[in-house]
């Protein structure tokens, strides 16, 4: 088939084959032997798929006249995003003057004044080309010997990138059996408890039964999502063999790193800088890595620290890659206590390491000098080196700022190698706008990165979480780039690991049980929840698109379904319910962004243009044609029609404070607003759309961070998490009622999400249950009647099943007993303090609009190792657990005093009451130790509280007078009523 001009049409895509690169008059020829019509883009796709022979004659694509189209395409294959991303000449590396800090408005249209949409059609064609090429690759062709060898290598590279390692049946079968057995025992236990009330203490008995029912419900929510836990392993070598073939351009996907920070005085710039340096030195092709630092506080200190970090990176990055050091955060590398000479064969290593450590110490001095200078803000605000005022002097009213420190022409390390991109971003802030804190900052980074680099995958890290495993990105790509697994993944979550925690982990900061038990269980269902950091996202999932396997409900099937419903179910209510369910499902899809990208292939060009109008995109994504084009590029990269000279202006536009108005940002696109724990909400929305996630646990932890290790800071951290869960519970996104229309969220996955939002409410029955033992000791009553033999066996069976469940869980997960016990202790400590306050604070905030903060009012310091562990900061969160400890201690003393005065028969019931009281005290022991501080230095406020509460309960005990029996005996009535009687 020929065009009127005589230029043949490509047999794959139907477009003109074009002209040769050497001459505008010579038609491009892929195969000189049979003149098989194939355009440049299709030929490039064939080469990328390792098919360098003609599909018609089997001969290599080499021109007979000496011209090689493969060489012409070589430059195309090696064009990286770095060469596409050209900035203005005045954007010099490390420049710190206002002229280089871009703060201009963006241009919405191209030169002709029209929106840019041309690249959308091209992306659809590329997808069709790929499908056609895959089908044709299955055809047999005569291939030379060299091609057969390459085919064998390709077959080797086609091995799976990862594998599921199921838990052994010897471990998992007994575990499931005990879960079922415990469920049966719980049923029998509640039958006994309800049918045998304690008439003499009916109120206490009823309270205990209600609490026990709630605990059983919480156990079901927590236990059954762990029904099918799995482990995974990755094959990084196979990934490299497939996408990093020798002599060819690297085909690994690009990754945009997000690092977020707010206040450099609370989040030290040196910590953030170490995180950035570990990213820049990651073991991944430099042209594929971009690091975006979000400074939501618009602090000049952070800006200056990033400039110093960019300079130091020119020395640090080549040193890390030359000697393959781990970790690649200098502060943590140089602080390691190990023999760094071991297994190092390079003679120059010792000398270079000492020089690098000296350079790092000088770098630290410069950073600390900046911090010291920033302690006192000048009256007129900060001034940049060129004399112009710093735009972020007013943190609540400033323009958007972007500075590219690394990544464009001339930014090389000391050995002349290219460095990854480093971009400083501070979004615009104006009074009267809702900025949505961290979630809003992350959404701004999504848009900026889409305009500047548009990597298909995003890895977000908190400023205090550095890359501990330089191959972490490759670990994630083993899943994301897997042809079978990757298209269905919204994110790959890594576990959180922490530095600087004492060996005993007194307050369960490591969260080992959650990360090594619960998350493995979720990985066997629909995937782990998103925990806010250490997560690699599929950018398309953040845009609200559905996965390729998303079930569709075409209109024709809807009509036939309605007819069927009308015939089979004449009830109007039933038909209405089904119609409403269908509408809710479709409405959810439309709100989610637009549609499933794969469905576009089923429409012709006119239908596509009608389906995706400019208005529908702008209502969802905002008024940026460049950004909207980037959302349609599934494999990332910048659109061909983009003018690189205007990219910075467009990036400034997409971070303006009014950009998200009347769009779906924060509602269905990006990080979701409405909760301080935006991570849980964002992951939940993705799972509701049908995506799945994967849990990746490499042998060397991928990322490490810092955690608050003293009691007060730890409780405030837990308070924030619990408050976010309460906010989700009171929102429209509550898993109890959200996301049923589509039917894409699995039931066990829903139970897990329900557990994440209802667990703070366990604080109410937990406080009541922890108070019951002391009340029983003070009043002489008990919540359990006299036990029969059957009842005793039932109670014994319940305790044994609880122990067995925990033991078998530890057996298949590999978690230690100490970690499990610390988790149990802090479950009680957090439940009776932070979770309780979160419930009340959440209801006040969501229902009454009152925002209360339980802040720290005092602070001490200690310079010794783990000194922060012993720092005591008084906060209102400490009141409930302190009260419970004193109450139970007074109850134990009162119980033993009563038994001594009552005789031998009182000792039997006493042991049951004391057992429960000691259970409470034992669980609160880390809290009590935290109150005592170091070397038993108890703060005065704690002593006052303890004395006050002890006095109150002692007086209450005297008023109850448990020593006097309620008999009509005259001696009893005439006897002394005092304690000393």
Residue positions annotated with a catalytic role: 296, 679
* Closest residue by Cα to residue 666 from 479, 449, 847, 440: 440
266 annotated among ligand-binding-site residues: yes
Q: How many helices (H) and strands (E) does the chain have?
A: 35, 13
Element containing residue 402 per DSSP (H, E)? strand 401-406
118 annotated among ligand-binding-site residues: no
Fill in the DSSP letter of residue 487. G
- For residue 231, the cross-strand partners are 165
Interatomic CA distance for residues 259 and 276, integer angstroms: 8
Crossing angle for the helix pair 925-932 and 907-923, to the nearest 10 degrees: 60
The 3-class SS string of 276-327 reads HHHHHCCCCCHHHEEEEEEECCCCHHHHHHHHHHHHHHHHHHHHHHHHCCCC
Fill in the DSSP letter of residue 107. P
283 annotated among ligand-binding-site residues: no
Interatomic CA distance for residues 956 and 977, integer angstroms: 15
Exposed, middle or buried by CB within 10 Å (0-12, 13-18, 19+), for 37? buried
146 annotated among ligand-binding-site residues: no
Fill in the DSSP letter of residue 90. T
Interatomic CA distance for residues 277 and 338, integer angstroms: 22
Tokens of 218: 């919480």
Q: Any idea which residue has 């604070």 for tokens?
A: 841
296 annotated among ligand-binding-site residues: yes
836: left (phi over 0), alpha (psi -120 to 50) or beta: alpha
- For residue 232, the cross-strand partners are 164
Element containing residue 705 per DSSP (H, E)? strand 703-706
Cβ neighbours of 752 (radius 10 Å): 26
Q: What sign results for the dihedral spanned by CA atoms 496, 502, 506, 512?
A: positive
Tokens of 892: 């134990």
**Cβ-Cβ contacts under 8 Å for 287 (sequence gap 6 or more):** 80, 81, 82, 250, 254, 418
Q: Any idea which residue has 């039933």 for tokens?
A: 574
437 annotated among ligand-binding-site residues: yes
Exposed, middle or buried by CB within 10 Å (0-12, 13-18, 19+), for 981? exposed
Interatomic CA distance for residues 5 and 675, integer angstroms: 61
- For residue 425, the cross-strand partners are 294, 402
199 annotated among ligand-binding-site residues: no
* Closest residue by Cα to residue 402 from 540, 306, 288: 306
Cα angle at 141 between 138 and 147, to 5 degrees? 100
What is the DSSP track for 416-461?
S-B--EEEEEE--B-TT----HHHHHHHHHHHHHHHHT--SEEEEE
205: left (phi over 0), alpha (psi -120 to 50) or beta: alpha
CB-facing half-sphere around the CA of 36: CA atoms within 13 A: 21
**Cβ-Cβ contacts under 8 Å for 895 (sequence gap 6 or more):** 777, 778, 910, 913, 914, 917
* Closest residue by Cα to residue 694 from 487, 459, 490, 474: 490
Residue ranges for the binding site for UDP-alpha-D-glucose?
A: 260, 266-267, 296, 437
Residue ranges for the binding site for Mn(2+)?
A: 438, 462
Residue ranges for the binding site?
A: 260, 266-267, 296, 437-438, 462
């Amino acid at each position: 088939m020929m065009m009127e001009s005589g230029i043949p049409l490509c047999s794959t895509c139907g477009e003109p084959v074009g002209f040769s690169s050497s001459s505008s008059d010579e038609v491009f020829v892929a195969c000189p032997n049979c003149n098989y019509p194939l355009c440049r883009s299709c030929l490039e796709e064939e080469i990328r798929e390792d098919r360098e022979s003609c599909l018609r004659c089997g001969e290599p694509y080499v021109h007979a006249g000496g011209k090689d189209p493969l060489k012409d395409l070589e430059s195309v294959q090696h064009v990286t995003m770095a060469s596409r991303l050209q900035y203005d000449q005045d954007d010099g590396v490390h420049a710190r003057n206002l002229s280089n800090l871009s703060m201009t408005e963006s241009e919405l249209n191209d030169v002709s004044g029209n929106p840019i949409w041309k690249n959308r059609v091209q992306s659809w064609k590329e997808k069709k080309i790929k499908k056609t090429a895959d089908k044709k690759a299955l055809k047999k062709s005569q291939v030379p010997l060299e091609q057969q060898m390459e085919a064998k290598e390709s077959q080797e590279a086609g091995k799976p990138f990862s594998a599921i390692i199921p838990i052994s049946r010897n471990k998992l079968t007994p575990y499931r059996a005990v879960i079922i057995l415990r469920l049966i025992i719980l049923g029998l236990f509640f039958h006994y408890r309800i049918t045998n009330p304690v008439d003499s203490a009916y109120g206490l008995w009823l309270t205990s039964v209600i609490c026990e029912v709630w605990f059983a419900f919480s156990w079901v929510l927590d236990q059954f999502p762990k029904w099918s836990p799995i482990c995974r392993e990755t094959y990084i070598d196979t990934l490299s063999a497939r996408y990093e073939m020798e002599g060819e351009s690297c085909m690994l996907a690009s990754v945009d790193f997000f690092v977020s920070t707010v206040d450099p005085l609370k989040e030290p710039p040196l910590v953030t800088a170490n995180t950035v340096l570990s990213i820049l030195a990651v073991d991944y092709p430099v042209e594929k890595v971009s690091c975006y630092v979000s400074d939501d506080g618009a602090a000049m200190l952070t800006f200056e620290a990033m400039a110093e970090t960019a300079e130091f990176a020119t020395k640090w990055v080549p040193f890390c890659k030359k000697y393959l050091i781990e970790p690649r955060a200098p502060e943590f590398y140089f602080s390691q206590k190990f023999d760094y000479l071991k297994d190092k064969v390079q003679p120059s290593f010792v000398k270079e390491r000492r020089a690098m450590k000296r350079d790092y110490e000088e770098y630290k001095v410069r950073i600390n000098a900046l911090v010291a200078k920033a302690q006192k803000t000048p009256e007129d605000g900060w001034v940049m080196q060129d004399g112009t005022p710093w735009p972020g002097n007013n943190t609540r009213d400033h323009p958007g700022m972007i500075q590219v420190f690394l990544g464009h022409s001339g930014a090389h390390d000391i050995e002349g190698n290219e460095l990854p991109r480093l971009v400083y971003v501070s979004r615009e802030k104006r009074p009267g706008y809702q900025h949505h804190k961290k979630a809003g900052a992350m959404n701004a980074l999504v848009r900026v990165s889409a305009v500047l680099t548009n990597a298909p995958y995003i890895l977000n890290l908190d400023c205090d979480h550095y890359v501990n495993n330089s191959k972490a990105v490759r670990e994630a790509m083993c899943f994301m780039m897997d042809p079978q697994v990757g298209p269905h993944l919204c994110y790959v979550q890594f576990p959180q690991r922490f530095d600087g925690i004492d060996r005993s982990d007194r307050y369960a900061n490591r969260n080992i049980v959650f990360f090594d038990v619960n998350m493995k269980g979720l990985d066997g269902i629909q995937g782990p929840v998103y925990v806010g950091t250490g997560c690699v996202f599929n950018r398309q999932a953040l845009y609200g698109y559905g996965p390729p396997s998303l079930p569709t409900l075409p209109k024709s099937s809807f009509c036939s379904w309605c007819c069927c419903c009308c015939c089979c179910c004449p009830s109007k209510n039933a038909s209405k319910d089904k119609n409403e369910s269908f509408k809710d499902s479709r409405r959810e899809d439309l709100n989610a962004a637009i549609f499933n990208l794969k469905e576009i292939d089923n429409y012709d060009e006119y239908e596509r243009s009608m389906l995706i109008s400019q208005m529908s995109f702008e209502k969802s994504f905002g008024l940026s044609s460049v950004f909207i084009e980037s959302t349609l590029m599934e494999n990332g990269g910048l659109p061909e029609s983009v003018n690189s000279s205007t990219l910075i202006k467009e990036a400034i536009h997409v971070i303006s404070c009014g950009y998200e108005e009347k769009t779906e940002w924060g509602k269905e696109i990006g990080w979701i607003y409405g909760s301080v724990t935006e991570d849980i909400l964002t992951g939940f929305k993705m799972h509701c759309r049908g995506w799945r996630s994967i849990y990746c646990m490499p042998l060397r932890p991928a990322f490490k961070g810092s955690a608050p290790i003293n009691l007060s800071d730890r409780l405030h951290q837990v308070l924030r998490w619990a408050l976010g869960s309460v906010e989700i519970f009171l929102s429209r996104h509550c898993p109890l009622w959200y996301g049923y229309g589509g039917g894409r969220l699995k039931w066990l996955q829903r139970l897990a999400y329900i557990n994440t939002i209802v667990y703070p409410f366990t604080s109410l029955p937990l406080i009541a249950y922890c108070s019951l033992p002391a009340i029983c000791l003070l009043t002489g009553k008990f919540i359990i009647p006299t036990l029969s033999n059957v009842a005793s066996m039932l109670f014994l069976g319940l305790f044994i099943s609880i122990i067995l469940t925990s033991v078998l869980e530890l057996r298949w997960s590999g978690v230690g007993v100490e970690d499990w016990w610390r988790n149990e202790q802090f479950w009680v400590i957090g439940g009776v303090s932070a979770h309780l306050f979160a419930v009340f604070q959440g209801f006040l905030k969501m229902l009454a609009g009152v925002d209360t903060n339980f802040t720290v009012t005092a602070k001490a310091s200690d310079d010794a190792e783990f000194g922060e562990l012993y720092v005591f900061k008084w906060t209102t969160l400490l009141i409930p657990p302190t009260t419970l400890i004193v109450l139970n201690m007074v109850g134990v003393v009162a119980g033993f005093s009563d038994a001594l005065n009552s005789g031998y028969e009182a000792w039997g019931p006493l042991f049951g009451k004391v057992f429960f009281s000691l259970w409470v005290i034992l669980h609160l022991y880390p809290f009590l130790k935290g109150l005592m501080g170091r070397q038993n230095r108890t703060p005065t406020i704690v002593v006052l509280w303890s004395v006050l509460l002890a006095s109150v309960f002692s007086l209450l005990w005297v008023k109850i007078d448990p020593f006097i029996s309620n008999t009509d005996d005259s001696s009893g009535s005439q006897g002394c009523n005092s304690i000393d009687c």
